[in-house]
């Protein structure tokens, strides 16, 4: 008795199997190309955004005759900044293209300028000292909106590494929700900054500050008259940055 041979598949079945394989191969190739195309588009957009930010900063730096890496914060400060400027860019937290937290938008461009301006520990320490002694020292950042962005970036970094500072992360969230935006009357309307100072005072103890700094923070609104509020808000910001060890930790 001869062993039975395995059944032979007819040609129709073979052609069907081959068609299924071709279809699967086409689907895999199509999805792969879609992934590659999406990756290419996202990468290209990121490169364009970085190039735009770098060119804008290079233009500003070349106008001052020095690069960001070699110039001091005083050279980069916006002494002639307009009320709607943040680090020399026409923007505000309420700008439609601000996009806080996104790698694209005015918020990202301003943050890039800020980080380049205070890239070294010495530059950051000079900023903190000028703010803490706002009643006597020349200010490195004449525009307080620049100071608020420094605070925001410091809190953004801190909440990633120190859960104890989440209370200031909440202030950052409120800033993004426009709680601290002033009115349209320029320096005559600082209602948003008054709220910011109050929120900083409430949370300052979480930074475990030195006794003298804690007393100074609590007495800010008593030691300075209402017409000196610019000094109050700068000192409050400086004390927070000092107690966060901003000069060492950076942005």
Task: Tell me what pLDDT residue 223 has.
Answer: 82
| DSSP secondary structure of 128-163 | HHHHHTTTTSPPS---HHHHHHHHHHHHHHHHHH-G
Question: How many residues are given for the chain?
Answer: 251
pLDDT digits (tens, 9 = 90+) for 227-245: 789 999 999 999 999 999 9
Number of H helices, E strands in the chain: 11, 2
**Beta partners for 85?**
90
Task: Tell me what pLDDT residue 226 has.
Answer: 65
* 3-class secondary structure, 228: helix
Residue 116: CA count within 13 A, CB half-sphere = 24
CB atoms within 10 A of CB 125: 16
**CA-to-CA distance for 163 and 88, rounded, in angstroms?**
33
3-state secondary structure 42-62: HHHHHHHHHHHHHHHHHHHHH
List, for the chain, all residue ranges whose pLDDT scores fall below the cut of 70: 1-83, 183-189, 225-226
pLDDT digits (tens, 9 = 90+) for 203-217: 999 999 999 999 999
Task: Tell me what pLDDT residue 26 has.
Answer: 53
Task: Tell me what pLDDT residue 92 has.
Answer: 92
Task: Tell me what pLDDT residue 147 has.
Answer: 97
Nearest to 234 by CA among 193, 205, 195, 203: 193
């Amino acid at each position: 008795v001869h062993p039975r041979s395995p059944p032979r598949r007819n040609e129709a079945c073979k052609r069907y199997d081959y068609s299924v394989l071709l279809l699967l191969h086409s689907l895999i190739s199509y999805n792969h190309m879609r992934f590659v195309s999406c990756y290419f588009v996202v990468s290209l957009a990121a490169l364009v955004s970085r190039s735009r930010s770098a060119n804008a900063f290079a233009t500003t730096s070349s106008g001052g005759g020095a690069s960001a890496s070699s110039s001091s914060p005083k050279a980069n400060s916006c002494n002639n900044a307009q009320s709607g400027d943040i680090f020399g860019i026409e923007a505000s937290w309420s700008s439609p293209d601000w996009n806080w937290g996104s790698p694209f938008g005015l918020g990202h461009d301003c943050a890039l300028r800020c980080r380049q301006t205070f890239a070294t520990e010495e530059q950051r320490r000079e900023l903190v000292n000028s703010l803490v002694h706002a009643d006597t020292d020349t200010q490195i950042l004449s525009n307080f909106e620049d100071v608020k962005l420094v605070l925001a970036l410091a809190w953004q970094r801190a909440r990633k590494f120190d859960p104890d500072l989440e209370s200031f992360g909440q202030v950052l969230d409120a800033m993004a929700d426009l709680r601290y935006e002033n009115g349209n009357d320029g320096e005559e309307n600082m209602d948003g900054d008054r709220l910011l100072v109050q929120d900083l005072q409430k949370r300052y103890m979480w930074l475990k500050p030195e006794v003298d700094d804690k007393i100074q923070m609590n007495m800010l609104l008593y030691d300075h008259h209402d017409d000196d509020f610019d000094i109050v808000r700068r000192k409050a910001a400086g004390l927070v940055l000092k107690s966060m060890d901003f000069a060492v930790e950076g942005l």
